[in-house]
Amino acid sequence: MVFARALILAALPLLAVATAIQGRNDSPPPSSTDLCCKATGTASDPAIAKQLGLLGIVVQDVNALIGVNCSPITVIGSSSCSTTTVTCTDNSHGGLVALGCVPVTL
């Protein structure tokens, strides 16, 4: 009986640690970034398709808006972008292409 209690008490901290590890999520939350892009279009546009191919990027939705040669807009409300302003969910390709874009008006 004493051994059973000791075993249960020893197992409780392990259960707490396992629960904490299981609930952990290191991935960043989805976010969007305002960008100034020299051009926008879809993956079916030949020039954009070529650039996506050179970068090895496969886009599932060929009608999704893609920004090309983009730079972040650092001042909120700034109208310094003389080309196309978009909000994109994936700008992880160094500004060459930005995926998941939606046009915005500043």
Residue 24 domain-assigned?
A: no
Residue 20 located in a structural domain = no
pLDDT bucket at 25, cuts 50 / 70 / 90: very low
Task: State the total domains in the chain.
Answer: 1
Residue 99 placed within a domain: yes
Q: Is residue 77 part of a domain?
A: yes
Give the residue numbers spanning the domain of 54: 33-103
Residue 94 lies in a domain: yes
Has residue 1 been placed in a domain? no
Whether residue 47 lies inside any domain: the answer is yes
Q: Name residue 64's amino acid.
A: A
What pLDDT sits at residue 83? 84
In the prediction, which pLDDT does 95 show?
86
Confidence category of residue 7, pLDDT binned at 50, 70, 90: very low
In a domain, 41, yes or no: yes
Question: What residue has token string 């008490």?
Answer: 9
The 3-class SS string of 23-64 reads CCCCCCCCCCEEEEEEEEECCCCHHHHHHHHHHCCCCCCCCC
pLDDT(102) > 80: yes
pTM for the full model? 0.62
Chain segment 40-95, per-residue pLDDT in tens = 999 999 999 999 999 999 988 888 999 999 998 876 665 678 888 999 999 888 88
**Residue 2 confidence (pLDDT):** 54
